[in-house]
Amino acid sequence: MAVAEPIYHPGNKNPAMTRVLHTGDTHIGYQQYHSPERRADFLAAFEQVVDDAVEMDVDAVVHAGDLFHDRRPDLPDLMGTLSALRDLNAADIPFLAVVGNHESTRGGQWLDLFERLGLATRLGDDPVAVDAVAFYGLDHVPESRRDDLDYDYTLPADSDLDTEPTHSVLVGHGLFTPFAHANWETETVLEESTVEFDAVLLGDNHAPGIERVDDVWVTYCGSTERASASEEDDRGYNVVGFDADDPGPAGVDIRRRSLSDVTREFGFVTADLEPGEGADRVREKVGQHDLDDAVVIVEITGDGEPVTPGGIESFALDNGALIARVTDRREIETETELSVSFADPDAAVDERIEEVGLSEAALDIDEAVRSPDIADSNLRETVKSRLKDQIENDPAALAPPESDDSDASESAAESDSESDDTTASDAAADAADDDADDTADTADTADGETAPDDTATADSTDDEDTTDDESTADDEGDTVEGELSTMEDFL
Ligand SMILES: [Mn+2]
């Protein structure tokens, strides 16, 4: 299994080896901490991955979902993405992808548009060949709808493939066993699949990892920029080799390549205060880090004097930090059971809204209200036109969705919900009845009180799928630490 030389070295190309770059959870368009710079970082990380793919001359880029942070990417992010996909296309490197929970839309997917433009291939039930490797896709499917899945993949013999593949690969998006926060049984998928897979390349869990289920390799590539402060480890991607001379799982080689040189610098500072210590000690700890253009995440624990988080944040910013977030764990521990991350209030709101469970229309209203891109003066008109559009073109968006599925692995910073909330839908419908005052009322409610309280109580039965917030924050706690460069490091 072990190969002496890293297989991604240019010029070290074994002609029998098909190599693909496995990435995912790119979250382009995520304006983390309300920071335009952070937003640009997510696109830049994707551009870097594409540059690496071209430089390595891989045989394909496989994207395991959540290319975009939400279903409504803005034009600059779309244009940047298109430009990167064009670069791949110019290098004759196919882009094979599935749809993640963040970007999933009710109508067509962005991926379908890219496919129409000849820049991507959406993986599905039919095999897509890269050399002698057959790739299949499994989009994210809400938990409540998974019982209906038949995993009926087209056998190579019944497909358009010219030759019998040496390897079969499933690319999927979801929280699969045996990884943390799993709610999707990998064994079931493998057993029920009509095709015998050698490897499963996954997205959704932002923590990278490799496991074996029976003989089959199962791996997460991890996110390419930190989508939450819980993602402390280096970001990166996988390079997966398939040896045509060695069919089956034995001929699969998975390696990890770090993006730590190019991702935004994060400084994780823990100030564990002794009695009598205070802000001076916290500043001292913060000052030990390279703050230049970094995102600085400070946690205060222990005892000591009261510390004003704002003062520490100013100190970090004055010393060159791009973003500083200070959480005083001592306060949180004593205050309440609340486990939201106060390091990012917007993320806390996202998390709360995810728990509440809103219709697509209500989520759109929330998005409009909180979006920094929509001026207050335009809000009323924006909400009104979006709702009008949905009533005319997509009435289903106003109806209670059939199901719910909260994604626990995804950090507090991520918001998405397919859950069901009648009250919110009603509110949306009210707002939509062409009465500008109603519309404004809905917007005002969402604005003032973060998640509207009256909707928060609407559907407590939806909690069955939500994992404890605290464990969400610890998402990456039980994964591999440090530099990962070979498959052996994962085992
Ligand atoms: Mn994701």
Three-state SS annotation for 105-123? CCCCCHHHHHHHCCCCEEC
What confidence score (pLDDT) does residue 458 get? 32
362 vs 442: CA distance, rounded Å = 9
- pLDDT at position 362 is 80
Cα 421 to averaged position of ligand 1 atoms, centre (Å): 23
| pTM of this structure | 0.70
Is the distance from CB of 27 to CB of 103 less than 8 angstroms? no
Residue tagged active-site, from 27, 102, 140, 206: 102
Q: Kindly report the length of the chain.
A: 491
In the reported structure, the alpha carbon of residue 143 is separated from the centroid of ligand 1 by a whole-number distance in angstroms of: 16
Alpha-carbon span 21 to 27, nearest angstrom? 17
DSSP strands (E only) in 274-409: 295-302, 323-328
Q: How far is the CA of 382 from the centre of ligand 1 (A)?
A: 27
pLDDT at site 348: 74
Tell me, in angstroms, the distance from the centre of ligand 1 to residue 266's CA: 19
Angle, alpha carbons 139-145-150 (nearest 5°): 70
- C-alpha dist (Å) from residue 348 to 25, 228, 283, 316: 20, 11, 25, 22
Tell me which residue of 64, 35, 343 sits closest to 206, measured CA to CA.
Answer: 64
Buried (b) or exposed (e) across 307-316, using 16+ Cβ within 10 A? bebeebbebb
Q: How far apart are CA 191 and CA 306, in angstroms?
A: 56
Closest alpha carbon to 205 in 408, 437, 416, 454: 408
**Residue 431 in tokens:** 């707002």
387 CA distance to ligand 1 middle (Å): 27
How far, in Å, from the CA of 225 to the mean position of ligand 1? 11
Q: Can you list the residues of the chain whose pLDDT is less than 70? A: 1-13, 331-344, 355-356, 371-378, 381, 392-395, 399-491
140 has catalytic annotation: no
Distance CA 237, CA 223 (A): 8
- What's the CA-to-centroid distance between 27 and ligand 1, angstroms? 6
Q: Rounded to the nearest whole angstrom, what is the distance from the C-alpha of residue 26 to the centroid of ligand 1?
A: 7
Identify whether the C-beta of residue 105 lies closer than 8 Å to the C-beta of residue 71.
yes
DSSP state of 56: H
